[in-house]
Amino acid sequence: MSPSLDAPVVVDPNEGLTWRNLREHLVRKYSLPENAHLLVAGQTAEEKATRETVNVLGAFVGFPQPETLAESMTLLRVTSFRDPYERRNEPGGSWWFPETLLLDLLAEFRGELRSNPPNLEGLRKKLQSLLALSDNFSDVEQLWCIRLPAGTKLTGLAGPASPQPVDSSLAGSYLSMGNLPGRAWQYYFPNMPPVRPKKYSLPLLEGIWLRNKRLP
């Protein structure tokens, strides 16, 4: 469907992106004055871009391919609730997955969802496993969504998630905890369009969490 004549055309913030030029896109991003707060003390935009490029490419099976999404596409992102580490509770981050993945899981776990209250633990663990979300990256508690408006195109790197350790912050000691297999389709966007993420209609976990303490 073509956008209406009066619909604003949103410039693709990642136009021309490939895995080969990802670092160049990130250098431009981190060189902007408004992104200076994303650099740690003494870090250059080039250093930040190099490190992130390595992490991004390591999160895919093989080399991710560029994919340009158009209007009406719904993307989801999973985060923690309130967390002392802001990076784990960032609704507008760079990693997203297609809504169809969640819809398939809802069909698979429909029996558990019929209970009162619905039992979402199995669905949460399966989602974490398929996306290979290490514990130190996300607690898989809150879903966020964006729906690309008319006139929007968004290019990202796409491909299956590679296996990751259950907790990637534990160095060699994580081996006894096993791996998350991954393989779900995911997207990485260096820059996001001016679309505000909204809470998805399905709460994966009720309540507010702070560290390991649940608050009513």
Each residue of 22-53: pLDDT tens digit?
999 999 999 999 999 999 999 999 999 999 99
So where are the chain's domains?
14-58, 61-215
Q: Is the pTM of this model over 0.75?
A: yes
* pLDDT at 38 (0 to 100): 93
Each residue of 108-163: pLDDT tens digit?
999 888 877 778 889 999 999 999 998 877 888 889 999 998 888 999 999 999 99
Quick check: 87 pLDDT over 50?
yes
Averaged pLDDT score across all residues of the chain: 85
* pLDDT at 47 (0 to 100): 98
Q: Residue 144 pairs with which residues in a beta bridge?
A: 77, 199
**DSSP string covering 118-154, please?**
---HHHHHHHHHHHT--TTT--S-EEEEEEPPTTB-E
* pLDDT at 63 (0 to 100): 97
The better pLDDT of the pair 110, 20 is held by 20
Quick check: 194 pLDDT over 80?
yes
Quick check: 210 pLDDT over 50?
no
* pLDDT at 208 (0 to 100): 45
